[in-house]
Amino acid sequence: MNLLPQTKKNLKYAFTPKSVAVIGASREPGKVGHVILQNYIDGGYSGRLYPVNKNADSVMGLKCYKSVLDIKKSVDLAVIALPAPVVPGVLEECGKAGVKSAVVVSGGFAEVGNADLQEEIVKIAKKYNIAMIGPNCLGVVDPRSRVDTLFLPTYKLSKPKIGGVSFVAQSGAVGSVVLDLIAKEGFGISKFISYGNAAYVDEVDILEYLMHDNETKVIVMYIEGVNRGKDFIEIAKKITKVKPVVIIKGGMTAEGGVAAHSHTAAIAGSSEAYDAVFRQFGFSQAKDLSELLHFAKIFDSEPLPKGNRIAIITNGGGMGVLTTDEVYINGFVLSDFSNDTKSKLRAVMPQIVNIRNPLDLAGDADEERYGKALDLVTKDPNVDMVIVIILFQTPGADSSVAEKVISYKEVSDKPMIVISVGTDYTQMHKTMMESAGLPVYDSPAAATRSLAELLKYAKYLSRKN
Amino acid sequence: MNLLPQTKKNLKYAFTPKSVAVIGASREPGKVGHVILQNYIDGGYSGRLYPVNKNADSVMGLKCYKSVLDIKKSVDLAVIALPAPVVPGVLEECGKAGVKSAVVVSGGFAEVGNADLQEEIVKIAKKYNIAMIGPNCLGVVDPRSRVDTLFLPTYKLSKPKIGGVSFVAQSGAVGSVVLDLIAKEGFGISKFISYGNAAYVDEVDILEYLMHDNETKVIVMYIEGVNRGKDFIEIAKKITKVKPVVIIKGGMTAEGGVAAHSHTAAIAGSSEAYDAVFRQFGFSQAKDLSELLHFAKIFDSEPLPKGNRIAIITNGGGMGVLTTDEVYINGFVLSDFSNDTKSKLRAVMPQIVNIRNPLDLAGDADEERYGKALDLVTKDPNVDMVIVIILFQTPGADSSVAEKVISYKEVSDKPMIVISVGTDYTQMHKTMMESAGLPVYDSPAAATRSLAELLKYAKYLSRKN
């Protein structure tokens, strides 16, 4: 295998730099170089921070340097927010100053036809061994090290908490949208990287880094194309044996591919070829951004299932019907409860409850009834996975039901997920359950498709090992 | 055609009653009969309200009657919240008192095997010509008349505003969930009806009523089965010529059908047969509850498209790529802008903007750039529909962009929808745009599939007329 050794492109310096230079730091609010410096200060970054601007002596109360060469101390990461034509000169200075990694946020390179200019900065990055991310990108976020090179105002998007999901996005816009969405989910992130034109650091480098990153449990990706097909296949083969990868590829149609090329200069390539690689190596393919989050959530929190038999516990008959449909559409079966479970359920359930799967506890089900059902159903040897539907609109469903389900989640070694659909009162309980590590889905389709990906991955691993 | 004439089952008395008796009105908070009466009082119902409870003289400050026979004034609607075994006697009294419609919320009939008891109340309803809805249902909501028979605490679900969408749900749980969800959407409702076991008033009666209801612009349905197949086909044939119907059927798989039978005693029937009927008569089939709302929203607000050529305007390249993929997956094409549009765009757009479709205005696009693009693109004769992507996470996107898009929406006669994805800041703008009649979707797939349903319906109508 001919991958560049991971240490060669020093990505660790981009994610956990001890010192950051913001080149193009500006005193003018609204300017990219202003927003980036402001975000570092507001975000509580504790390393050394060096604004660089040849026309200023100080920016936001920090001493400002004319050039990165004037800093005279080691710089792990340079964030470059200057017009494209001046980037080569600045990057050359970074090289001379021994800067170890760089994020070039500037656009105006290959994506608008300036391939030569892009080639020029790649040469400089290679010459000085600078792990250069971009150009035409948002860069990196690491909530542990508080690195954040995004030039987006903080009030416009929420930022996720610390967690185990790393998100790799070729597109800055898709990246920022997904970051914003993750902030409202129960899971947190380890690393975020938007790498734009992938001129030097590309998806292969990033995947190799994240494969070895102990803080990353699940990898989620949006890509528009890959630069090094063979190397991508090599890393794809290895990485899913170590951790799950959820992927969505833009440009899967011919016309989408054309749009992708105009966006990040990516060669989208044949969708069949990508699809084949993703399938062969156990990637989870999401069909839209919501599904990307749904899959990330289940991989982040759930153990792998032992089989494909699902139990459904519900307080709404119609939702039980719709979920049953999805269970069979997605290739699962409903568990046939053991005779022992059935007779015990019959003894403890009121007469209106039919002892069958889906187990419809009826609209007046409260925490006691949920508890009795969970106690028997989670232990049934015929059950591999449990879907608990809680419609919080019903009279009996309140926080005590949520707490009860959480308590069974904590002791069960089977995948267990919740479906709850609704607005304020429901969302409050969603947050409560997800904070306790119990994933909540807002539709039978989303829940069941996520379980299907979990099972598919479990099968992939068992075939490969 | 052998439908029962609409006037025979007096559904109008259920939706717009001048007087309501709550039979089983209770002084005990938490009891169904308490919640229903409380909701009428809190909801500001302005007709006459009669609590009926043989053990009370007054309930919540209202004079209480021992029997509906004691009221001695005309009662348009009786809401019956009493145990199943006493319902026949009470309904008989309603008949004698001349009550015109009834909602039997009580369960314990055919859905748990008590078919005889159900047959008994159907006979009584027929004998006295009472439009009986249920049993085992939530009943009706009409925000105009402020009728609300739901026995669900108001803090647990939000209620939609007045609007043009009527929602028909066989399942109470699905009904309440969807009502709750609609409350956060830009559109409002005309009528809501959860009809449970469909023992007497069934989907055919309801569709016939809603077909003639001027306040209903779009019909949305969740059904688990139909009682009168031939009559259903007759009404299906007529209704979609008058207004669009969006439908989701529970029990489309064999196993889901079994679950449906245990839920509302419905005979789910062959999914192929249902699918064929829905297709033949131009119903829009949603694959989940989210899609039900997405389709309702587009039918409620958008004109029918003249063709299948879509323009995409975006401030995020990756979202443009994903949307392009969806456009082609869903059978549309991207418009080829006219030469006039292209040359005018070239004159007014900055150099970083490629003059093509999708038109990527770049991450710093502001209201001025959106305005210039909208002005030219919406008027292009090669454009049938417009998708505007606004990622509010980007520096240039704020309320002025939303206002600009609204202003073009107001003058354009083409379908125009927005894709915006994100949390707080984005949701604020979603609310703003939807209040102005501009539908906002949270994914390229949702947006494009909704446009596809709109086009399919337009084609259905043009074939039929």
* pLDDT value of position B30: 77
Quick one: which of A108, A193, A184, A209 has its CA closest to A150?
A193
Tens digits of per-residue pLDDT, A199-250? Answer: 999 999 999 999 999 999 999 999 988 889 899 999 999 999 999 999 999 9
The chain-wide mean pLDDT, for chain A, equals 93
Q: Give the best-scoring range by mean pLDDT among A258-267, B238-247, B269-278.
A: B238-247
Q: Which of A153, A255, A363 sits opposite B173 (nearest CB)?
A: A363
Q: In this complex, do B174 and A263 lie within 8 Å of one another by their Cβ atoms?
A: no
- Rounded mean pLDDT, B126-143: 95
pLDDT at B1 over 80: no
Q: Does B270 touch chain A (CB under 8 A)?
A: no
The answer to whether A84 and A112 have CB atoms below 8 angstroms apart is no
Q: How far apart are CA A232 and CA A277, in angstroms?
A: 9
Q: Is the pLDDT of residue B269 over 80?
A: no
Distance from CA of B66 to the nearest CA of A (A): 27
Q: With an 8 Å Cβ cutoff, are B394 and A224 in contact? A: no
Position B296 pLDDT exceeds 70: yes
Give per-residue pLDDT as tens, A102-148: 999 998 899 888 999 999 999 999 999 999 999 999 999 999 999 99
CB of A316 within 8 Å of a chain B CB? The answer is yes
pLDDT tens readout for residues A142-159: 999 999 999 888 888 888
Q: Is B409:B378 a contact under the CB 8 Å cutoff?
A: no
Distance CA A410, CA A396 (A): 23
* Number of CB pairs, chain A paired with chain B, less than 8 A apart: 247
Q: Residue A256: which pLDDT band, with cuts at 50, 70 and 90?
A: confident
Backbone angles phi, psi at A245, to 5 degrees: -125, 125
In sequence order, which residues have a C-beta less than 8 Å from that of residue B234 and are 6 or more positions away? B1, B2, B3
Residue A80: pLDDT over 50: yes
Q: Categorize the per-residue pLDDT at B40 as very low, low, confident or very high, splitting at 50, 70 and 90.
A: very high
Is there a common fold for A6-299 and A303-464?
yes
CA distances (Å), origin B440, targets A176, A294, B296, B433, B457 = 19, 21, 12, 7, 20
Please state whether beta strands A284-285 and A189-194 pair in parallel, antiparallel, or not at all (unpaired).
unpaired
Kind and range of the H or E run holding B78 = strand B77-80
Using CA atoms, how far residue B262 sits from A75, A319, B173, B256, B415, in Å, is 68, 13, 15, 10, 42
Q: What is the residue-wise DSSP string for A140-181? A: EEETTTTEE---S-GGGS----EEEEEEEES-HHHHHHHHHH
- Banded model confidence at residue B240, pLDDT cuts 50, 70, 90: very high
The mean per-residue pLDDT over the stretch A34-54 comes to 93
Domain B304-464 has CATH 3.30.565.10: no
Of the candidates B409, B402, B445, B451, the residue with the CA atom closest to the CA atom of residue B426: B402
Task: Supply the pLDDT for residue B2.
Answer: 41
Name which of A48-57, A399-408, B2-11, B136-145 the model is least confident about: B2-11
| Amino acid at residue number B49 | L
In whole angstroms, give the CA distance from residue B300 to residue B165: 7
Instruction: Decide if B117 contacts B88 (C-beta within 8 A).
Output: yes
Q: Report helix, strand or coil for B47.
A: coil
Quick one: tokens of A233?
A: 């296949």
CB contact under 8 Å between A394 and B325, yes or no, is no
Beta pairing partners, A222: A169, A248
The pLDDT assigned to B85 comes to 96
On the question of pLDDT at B428 being above 70, the answer is yes
Given CB atoms, is A151 within the 8 Å cutoff of chain B? Answer: yes
Q: What is the pLDDT of residues A261-291, one digit of tens each?
A: 777 776 656 788 899 999 999 999 999 999 9
* Contacts with A334 from chain B: Cβ below 8 Å: 255
Residue extents of the structural domains in chain B: 6-299, 304-464
Q: Is the pLDDT of residue A253 over 90?
A: no
Stretch 88-147 of chain B: residues touching chain A, C-beta under 8 Å: 107-108, 112
- Write down the H helix ranges in A330-364: 339-348
B29: exposed, middle or buried (Cβ count in 10 Å: 0-12, 13-18, 19+): exposed
Could you tell me if A350 and A344 are in contact, meaning their C-beta atoms sit under 8 angstroms apart?
Answer: no
| Mean per-residue pLDDT, B339-345 | 98
The pLDDT value recorded for residue A6 is: 45
Banded pLDDT at B267 (limits 50, 70, 90): low
Q: Which fold has domain A6-299?
A: Rossmann fold (3.40.50)
Q: Looking at this predicted complex, what is its ipTM?
A: 0.90
Alpha carbon of B309: minimum distance to chain A alpha carbons (Å): 14
**Which residues in chain B touch residue A107, judged by CB atoms under 8 angstroms apart?**
352, 362
3-class SS string, A188-237: CEEEEEECCCCCCCCHHHHHHHHHHCCCCCEEEEEECCCCCHHHHHHHHH
- pLDDT given for residue A345 in this prediction: 98
> What pLDDT band is residue A1 in, cutting at 50, 70 and 90?
very low
Q: Does B224 touch chain A (CB under 8 A)?
A: yes
pLDDT per residue as tens digits for the range A414-439: 999 999 999 999 999 999 999 999 99
- Hey, are the CB atoms on B395 and A169 less than 8 Å from each other? no
Reported as a pLDDT band with limits 50, 70 and 90, residue A29 is confident
Summarize the confidence of residues A63-70 as an average pLDDT: 97
Give the integer Cα–Cα distance in Å for B151 and B105. Answer: 8
The arithmetic mean of pLDDT across residues A340-347, rounded, is 98
B307–A contact, CB cutoff 8 A = no
- The larger pLDDT score, comparing residue A301 to residue B173, is at A301
Whole-number Å distance between alpha carbons of B330 and B450: 10
| Phi, psi angles (nearest 5°) of residue A90 | -65, -40
Quick one: residue A133, left, alpha or beta (phi over 0 = left, psi -120 to 50 = alpha)?
A: beta
Q: Write out the two tokens for A298.
A: 């289940």
Closest CA to B433 of B160, B185, B190, B217: B185
**Do A51 and A22 touch, CB atoms closer than 8 A?**
yes
Task: Tell me whether A444 touches chain B (CB under 8 Å).
Answer: yes
State whether B156 and A35 contact (CB < 8 Å): no
- CATH code, A303-464: 3.40.50.261
Per-residue confidence (pLDDT) for residue A112, from 0 to 100: 83
pLDDT above 70: residue B87: yes
